[in-house]
Structure 1
Amino acid sequence: MDHGIVADIACCIIAAWVVGVLCQVARQPLLIAYLLAGFAIGPNGFKFITEPESIRTTSEIGLILLLFMIGLEMDLKKMLGSGRAITITALVQIYGCVGLGWLFFSRIGPAGSGLEALYLAVAAAMSSTVIIIKLLHDKHELETLTGRITVGILVLQDVFVILFLAIQPNLKDPALGPLLEAFARVFQLVGAAYFTSRFVLPHVFKLVARQPELVLVGALAWCFAMSGLAGYLGLSREMGALIAGVMVSTFPYTLDVVARVTSIRDFFVTLFFVSLGMIIPLPTWDYLLWMLVVSVVLVITRLITVFPVLFRMGMGQRMSLLPAVNLSQLSELSLVLLAIGKASGDVSERTISIAAFSFAFLAIASTYGILQSDAIVRRAAPWLGKLGFPDLPATGHEGGPGEEEPTVFILGFSWTASSLLEEITREKPGLLPRLKVIDFNPETAKELRARGIPVVYGDISRRDMLEHAGVARAEVIICSLSDSILRGASNRRMLLQLRTLNSHAQIIVHAEKLADVAGLYADGASYVMTPRLLEARDLLTMLDAAENDLVGEMRAGQLACLEERREVIP
């Protein structure tokens, strides 16, 4: 069918919306919906659009805006201040996956050349920031140790993408001279971007801050100016857009810019992924076989480049395996990199199609993998021990002669437990020798042991771990974790299990829903914490303070109190 560009764009957007609604109902990533929509209306589907060239230029605008937004959302402080464990693990993961992937893809396939194998290996080394952040946020794990490690690796993967885009135009002629010249052009680009963003843009944005339209236009002008400069210097235009975003990511106006650019970016990015879906051929046994091969290679390389490194750093089985599981998918940027390679004549449509199939397959599989990661760790633990990766020793402190035996057990050490320990230290220091903590965060365990608190490293949902820790001798047992944070358990299951181990202890558990309180008491709880009621009382106090113009005094008192606290988890 022969359409004009307006009709083609309308067809793309309508198809993306219809399939997007269906994927939303099925709780699948929207990127899969866009790829499916493009396939459905493209030359290999219902042939609504047989010449995707008509919207390719428009989709390239979406690609530039996508990388600009990724740059805006990068945190330079996190990039420069990544911890040692994160930095070493990220370097091993990135270069290890690229090296292993290149060896496999260049010798076995599906790439047709060593250069194409390199593109595919780099693409397979990247993980999906969109999918990972969303799922970790839903699981309340972004601020956990595994969440911080995962996000830190993602940040350094983005840095690697910048470096790869710098040398990408010279990959066909990787001689030392052209590469040095390329890096010189990169320094020119970064220098110009830094100078402008440091000394010019702050004043310009401050001048137009009260004009929303000018803020939006100014952000887009900066994005395309840097993209154009990159093209003029012989570098990737997409790299220019990425650097443009990174350079203004620390501006006080960044959130406003992100909010205003997001809608227009989403429109063009939708077109980009729909147009990418148009070149996906009908699935054949060949494509499906290579999809499985690429997916298996990706998962295996993640495991062997992430788990052993973290394990050697004393993270234990759980904290070492979870980041590897979290990172086991292809990134949206993987498809972008391959599309850039295709535009340069380095990557075939067959490789992009296989990568697109792999992206969709892994996006779905890794979603279930991340949501069930705790069950995966429990099942893998015995096998890891047999393979020479025993977990950390359960007991980190044994009481000596004359020491008081712990009688107050804290199951799981999170924010509430950290604040409780601080209150005990301040108000009832005599209670400290009676405390014992059970938790599987090695960093927390190390800090607690430094403070003289006995810690048992282990999973609080496991009966054998609780028995080994001596829960049967406890007088008070506290579980301050909510059901949404507990992994593979709930407060009710914990309570029933604890009552079979210890019938006389005072057991304190947590309830998110008021409707659960009566049931927990019926199951044997001594007391049920309901934090929402405490927060409501605090808010009511604040309302009274607001009516009496005392908010400033309360805020000053709160800040003064926080300055004096030295909690394990700040």
Structure 2
Amino acid sequence: MASSAILLFTDYFNHPSIPAYILAGIIVGRFFPQEEMLSFVQIGLAFLVFIFGVKMDPERLRSVAKESQIAGGIQITVIGLISLTAGYFLFNFNPINSILFTLSAVLSSTLVGLDILEREIHINLTHARLAESIHLTQDVIAILILIGLGSVQTILTNIPQNLYYGLMIIAASLAFRQILFDQLTKLTGGSRELMMLLSITVLSAFIGAAQYFNISLAVGSFAAGLAVSKYPYNIEILDTTGSLKDFFSAIFFVSLGALITTPTQKVLMVSALLIALTSIFKPYTVITALILQGHNKRTSYLTGMSIDQVSELALIIAIQTHLAGIMNDVLFQAIILTATFSMLTSSYTQRHKEEIYRFMSKYDILPDAETTIRTRIDGKLENHVILVGYDTQGKRLADKLKEENQQFVVLENDPEKVEELHDNNDNYIFSDIMEDETWQKAEIEEAKLIISTIPLRSASNKITGLETDADIILRSEEVKEAEKLLENDKVIYVNIPDMTGAELLSDHIEGIMENVNYREELRRKNMLELRKYLQSEEG
């Protein structure tokens, strides 16, 4: 009830929901024992870890795996050494508590970090895949630690046995995914309700197995998610369990806020350092590592800023070790306080990421390095087409432009796609379209047409704000947004996947290239189609 009232207030002022839940938890925490709230946190986390397992698709991350793993490894090493030294020598923690302090500093929240990047992940942007890969690596480390710890009752008593049982559960989930899952999904007959019941049944079974072998519930939840993560069924499971995810997210954040108590001076000191390591030094280390590997500043920045939180799996480790009497109360309260603060601020840093990036760029806060950004331009660009993005649609459009013997250059930020462009001997610029330098390299003043295949409003706004006489074709996922974009006189067409496809757009290329009247008629028809679609939806 408290969270609903605060959520209405924050929603009215267009603020993120996470701070509302945490604030509600701080209020209700005054009326409930901390032991009860610890149980609620673990229940909420168990389901959210399951959702992470369902989303996991390592195959999609291969093109950035090397760079992300190097960046993640550097971050874990640098921040790990700093935090381990500080825990042992500055705060006089014993070796185990120093290690637990280090884990809280180096691991980041998949729940918060990737949830905020959900749309960017969906459309396969490079920084989103880099972030997803870093989070995946960290979560695998955390899961292995949880397996080794065992349950609260058996924590640290038999690590080899815990590892054996835990890895056996993970292996069973992979076997289920490969052998049984397809057969069981066929039995559901395409029913969404049965699909949801199947996923909940699998979750219950693996949590039961984890309890039987005295392994952390989070391990069972992760294994269950992994078991049903097969594409495209996992998309339907995520869709049908969306309301449950929102419910358990609320439970988790409210319970987290309720765990906060009045901090002592030492708790504040430990938390202050942990906040600095988590929210400042950890992202900056990843940003630097990616820039040194040749990624542009904006991609590196957006990736680094996705890990400025304490991991929910680190919270599970903290709760288990605290309940078992291993983690001291000062460290536990500092971790809870830092996790709450970092998850709260992360919502706002992500919302205002572009403003923060412009500020950091203006004052040269981001590191400089010789980049390995590749550019291939054959001859002088003149009266050419700038093609933004080289996904499925971009490839079809590039083929059509070749058929028309039209000079073009592709702006792309994905290393794998750039390799494909290089092999095809096509013109390309490997850079970020939000950077002015990218458009200067693309000879924007000489271009006659810009075609964007990226359905992000920020990308469309950047393109329409360019000083150019070129006609513009954009892409959007929302009809109302498309209608708004067409109000700009330079925009002659907005492609919407639900209404039009790449093949239809490519059919217009010849007319757009050769005939001014064709462009004007195309714009008029596009606007009429959008209005007709909106009227049918409203009617």
Q: What's the TM-score once normalised by structure 2's chain length? A: 0.74
Alpha-carbon distance, 1:492 to partner:
4.0
- Tell me how far apart the structure 1 counterparts of residues 399 and 250 of structure 2 sit (CA, whole Å): 50
- Call closer, same or farther: CA 1:306–1:261 in 2, change over 3 Å: same
Residue 408 of structure 1 is aligned with which of 353, 360, 384?
Answer: 384
Select which of 79, 82, 88 maps to 1:106.
Answer: 88
Is this contact kept in 1: 2:113–2:306, CA < 8 A? yes
Residue 172 and residue 298 in structure 1: after superposition, are their counterparts in 2 closer, same or farther (change >3 A)?
Answer: farther
Q: What's the counterpart of residue 453 of structure 1?
A: 426
Does the Cα contact within 8 Å between 2:279 and 2:342 map onto a contact in 1? no
Deviation at 1:324, TM superposition (A): 1.1
- CA shift, 1:40, in A, is 1.0
Q: Which segment drifts farther, 437-446 or 210-219? A: 210-219
- Tell me the residue number matched to 1:503: none
CA deviation profile, 1:452-471 (whole Å, cap 9, x unmatched) = 33444555566666556544
Q: Shift of residue 408 of structure 1?
A: 0.9
What's the counterpart of residue 452 of structure 2? 480
Residues 482, 491 of structure 1: 8 Å contact kept: no
Partner of 2:512: none
Q: Does 1:118 align with 2:99?
A: yes
Please state if 1:189 is matched with 2:189. no
Of the three residues 406, 428, 441, the one matched with 2:404 is: 428
Contact 1:317 1:392 in 2 (8 A): no
Q: 1:123, CA displacement in angstroms?
A: 2.7
Name 2:320's counterpart in structure 1: 340
Say if 1:396 and 1:316 are closer, same or farther in 2 by CA, change over 3 A.
farther
1:362 aligns with 2:342: yes
1:86-132 per-residue CA deviation (whole Å, 9 max, x = no partner) reads 343344444554444333333334x8433223223223323333333
How far residue 323 of structure 1 moved from its aligned partner, in angstroms, is 0.9
Tell me, yes or no, if structure 1 residue 17 matches structure 2 residue 12.
Answer: no
Cα deviation per residue 1:309-367 (whole Å; 9 max; x = unaligned)? Answer: 43343323333332112222223333333222222222244434333332333334333
How much does 1:450 deviate?
3.7
Alignment of 1:136-285 (within 5 A): 136-137=117-118, 142-169=123-150, 178-194=158-174, 219-250=199-230, 254=234, 263=243, 267=247, 270-282=250-262
Letter in 2 for 1:422: D
Alignment partner, residue 556 of structure 1:
none
Task: Give the superposition deviation at 1:301.
Answer: 4.0
* Deviations, residues 432-453 of structure 1 (Å, cap 9, x unaligned): 4xx3445555555554344333
Tell me, in whole angstroms, the C-alpha distance in 2 between the residues paired with 1:370 and 1:428: 42
Does the CA contact (< 8 Å) of 1:290 and 1:354 recur in 2?
yes
Identity of aligned residues (%): 20
Structure 1 unaligned spans of 5+: 1-13, 500-505, 541-570
Residues 52 and 111, structure 2, Cα contact 8 Å, conserved in 1:
no
Letter in 2 for 1:330: V
Q: CA deviation at 1:383?
A: 7.1
Asked if the contact 1:29–1:131 (Cα under 8 Å) also holds between the matched residues in 2, the reply is no
Q: CA deviation at 1:239?
A: 1.5
1:179/1:81 CA distance change after superposition, 3 Å: farther
Query: What is the rounded CA distance, in whole Å, between the counterparts of 1:322 and 1:181 in structure 2?
Result: 40
Does structure 1 retain, via aligned residues, the 8 Å contact 2:410–2:428? yes
Letter of the 1:421 counterpart? A
Give the 3 Å change call, closer, same or farther, for CA 534–396 of structure 1 in structure 2: same
Tell me the equivalent position of 1:567: none
1:75 corresponds in structure 2 to 57
CA distance in 2, matches of 1:436, 1:197: 42
**AA in 1 matched with 2:102:** A
Equivalent-residue separation in structure 1 for 2:243 and 2:256 (angstroms): 20
CA contact (8 A) 1:79 1:155 kept: no
Structure label with greater radius of gyration? 1
Maintained 8 Å contact 2:153/2:214? no
Alignment correspondent of 1:6: none
User: Residues of 2 paired with 1:163 and 1:69: CA distance?
Assistant: 18
Asked if 1 retains the 8 angstrom alpha-carbon contact of 2:121 and 2:128, the reply is no
Spell out the pairing of 1:519-530 with structure 2 (5 A cutoff): 520-521=488-489, 525=490, 528-530=492-494
Q: Distance in 2 between matches of 1:160 and 1:124?
A: 14
TM-score computed with the length of structure 1 as normaliser: 0.71
Q: Is the 8 A contact 1:34 1:274 kept in 2?
A: yes
Output the CA distance in 2 between the equivalents of 1:411 and 1:195. 43
Contact 2:37 2:258 in 1 (8 A): no
User: Are the equivalent residues in 1 in contact too, given 2:64–2:130 (CA < 8 A)?
Assistant: no
**CA pair 18-285 structure 1, distance change in 2 beyond 3 A:** farther
AA aligned opposite 2:88? S
Amino acid at match of 1:24: D
CA offsets 1:183-202 (integer angstroms, 9 cap, x no match)? 22334433455556666676
The CA distance in 1 between the partners of 2:338 and 2:238, in whole Å, is 30
The answer for unaligned runs of 5 or more in structure 2 is 476-480, 505-539
User: Hey, what's the Cα distance between the residues in 2 that align with 1:79 and 1:67?
Assistant: 19
Q: Which residue of 2 aligns with 1:41?
A: 28
User: Which deviations, in whole Å up to 9, do the C-alpha atoms of 1:269-314 show, x marking residues without a partner?
Assistant: 6445444433311366665554442222124443454234433433
8 Å contact 1:409–1:436 — kept in the other structure? yes
Q: Aligned partners of 2:474, 2:198: CA distance in 1, in Å? A: 50
Q: Is the contact made by 1:67 and 1:241 (CA closer than 8 Å) also made in structure 2?
A: yes
**Aligned residue pairs: how many?**
499
Closer, same or farther: CA 447–215 of 1 in aligned 2, 3 Å: closer
Q: Please tell me whether the aligned partners of residues 129 and 154 of structure 1 are also in contact (alpha carbons under 8 angstroms).
A: yes
Residue 499 (structure 2) aligns with: 535
CA distance in 2, matches of 1:535, 1:78: 27
Change (3 A) 1:113 1:209: farther
SS at match of 2:229: coil
Question: What one-letter code is carried by the residue in structure 2 that aligns with 1:408?
Answer: H
Q: 1:40 to 1:156 in 2, by over 3 A?
A: same
- Report the RMSD for the aligned CA atoms in angstroms: 4.5
- What is aligned with 2:114? 133
- Give the drift of 1:388: 4.9
Deviation at 1:389, TM superposition (A): 1.0
Which residue is 1:546 aligned to? none
Amino acid at match of 2:499: E
Sort the Cα spacing of 1:23 and 1:116 in 2 relative to 1 into closer, same or farther, 3 A.
Answer: farther
